[in-house]
């Protein structure tokens, strides 16, 4: 980092964070939404071509009906890190493999360590060509170690493609700052690059401008029924964290000497432990936590148009419970948002939010 940047607080030394304003103006719609489903270990969800809803909860894939009643579809040997509809069935990613359930590839198991050398698969999507698009967050940490990758300023994420006919994997993009979300797009492939706070369009191995300057860390992205996309943001940015990311000595000592849950880092939920690091103004005064206090965790879903410009958003603000939104889908006339931080899926009728 150049001395001039450090002196003036610009360039790489800039610790400013975009504000929630315009299409990202805070509201309370995620927090006020009805709970559709609650379960331990929720992480991902998807809707297949027949309109059936499936949710991952730990090692189990749950089939869910319109009333929120669940039944176990399949139990896998490891925790499920990503789930998607694929070729009239499902595909689930664990730390060690891709597992195909139902459809044309029912029962196929593809080892990831041997074939793709991937250990942090976190999102899946079927491409228009019938291949499987895969986001691999990091070569250095597993799915649960994302905060370590952030504090290490990791850039080892990749966008992969699995060709079912040959069993091969292709690398479509590499050296990404934690790839966490993938979606087919008419101009290429959409991928969320979390630590760069943006969604990019990957075309011919190159990333071109998409949606940037997001005030949080984007994750999974899915098409919206009326055109455009739904983007989840699983954790917020803050000036304190932006400062810490530029202080190498402090970060290294903190990670070496402090328990991980108490690091100065974003979280999927917060407010339950008084030992959590203070987030500047995020301190209760007379028992009240102000909704504009700097957040350590947050709930946010952004509605993007076809050109990847934000149209509007739904929030669970500081002090709320529906934080750590990692997946979203349209189902039975409503938007379902999976809050990993609270272990619940909430439901908002599309008629209440579509503009």
Q: In the CATH hierarchy, which fold is given to the domain comprising 21-270+284-353? A: Neuraminidase (2.120.10)
| Residues 126 and 84 sit within 8 Å (Cβ to Cβ) | yes
What the block records as the tokens of 291 is 């909704």
Q: Which pTM does this prediction carry?
A: 0.93
Q: Where are the domains of the chain?
A: 21-270+284-353
| Residues 98 and 92 sit within 8 Å (Cβ to Cβ) | yes
pLDDT for residue 8? 46
d(CA 207, CA 188): 10
pLDDT tens series, the chain, 355 aa = 566 555 445 556 667 888 889 999 999 999 999 999 999 999 999 999 899 999 999 999 999 999 999 999 999 999 999 999 999 999 999 999 999 999 999 999 999 987 788 989 999 999 999 999 999 999 999 999 999 999 999 999 999 999 999 999 999 999 999 999 999 998 799 999 999 999 999 998 888 878 999 999 999 999 999 999 999 999 999 988 999 999 999 999 999 999 998 999 999 998 777 777 765 555 666 666 666 677 889 999 999 999 999 999 999 998 899 999 999 999 999 999 999 999 999 999 999 998 6
Instruction: List, as own/partner pairs, every contact residues 169-174 make where C-beta atoms lie below 8 angstroms and the sequence separation is at least 24, other chains included.
Output: 169/115, 169/116, 169/118, 169/134, 172/133, 172/202, 172/205, 173/202, 173/205, 173/206, 173/207
Phi, psi of 15, deg, nearest 5: -110, 15
pLDDT for residue 177? 96
Residues in the chain: 355
- DSSP secondary structure of 321-337: S---EEEEEEETTEEEE
């Amino acid at each position: 980092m150049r001395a001039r940047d450090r002196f003036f607080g610009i360039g790489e030394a800039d610790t400013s964070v975009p504000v929630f304003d315009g299409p990202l103006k805070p509201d309370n719609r995620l927090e006020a939404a009805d709970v559709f489903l609650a379960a331990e270990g929720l992480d991902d969800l998807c809707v297949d071509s027949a309109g059936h809803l499936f949710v991952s909860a730990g090692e189990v894939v749950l089939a869910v009906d319109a009333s929120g009643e669940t039944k176990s579809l399949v139990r896998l040997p490891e925790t499920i890190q990503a789930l998607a509809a694929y070729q009239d069935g499902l595909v689930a990613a664990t730390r060690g493999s891709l597992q195909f359930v139902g459809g044309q590839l029912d029962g196929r198991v593809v080892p990831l360590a041997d074939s793709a050398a991937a250990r942090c698969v976190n999102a899946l999507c079927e491409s228009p060509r019938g291949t499987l698009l895969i986001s691999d967050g990091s070569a250095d940490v597993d799915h649960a170690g994302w905060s370590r990758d952030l504090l290490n300023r990791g850039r080892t994420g990749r966008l992969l493609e699995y060709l079912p006919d040959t069993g091969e994997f292709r690398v479509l993009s590499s050296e990404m700052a934690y790839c966490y979300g993938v979606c087919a797009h008419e101009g290429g492939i959409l991928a969320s690059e979390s630590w760069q706070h943006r969604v990019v369009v990957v075309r011919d191995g190159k990333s071109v401008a998409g949606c940037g300057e997001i005030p949080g860390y984007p994750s999974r992205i899915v098409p919206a029924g009326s055109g455009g996309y739904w983007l989840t943001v699983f954790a917020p940015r803050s000036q304190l964290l932006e400062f810490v990311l530029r202080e190498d000595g402090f970060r290294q000592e903190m990670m070496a000497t402090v328990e991980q849950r108490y690091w100065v880092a974003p979280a999927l939920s917060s407010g339950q432990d008084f030992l959590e690091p203070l987030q500047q103004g995020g301190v209760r005064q007379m028992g009240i936590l102000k909704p504009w206090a700097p957040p350590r965790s947050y709930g946010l879903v952004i509605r993007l148009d076809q050109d990847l410009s934000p149209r509007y958003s739904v929030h669970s603000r500081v002090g709320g419970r529906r934080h750590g939104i990692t997946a979203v889908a349209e189902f039975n006339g409503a938007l379902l948002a999976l809050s990993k931080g609270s272990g619940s899926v909430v439901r908002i009728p599309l008629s209440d939010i579509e503009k």
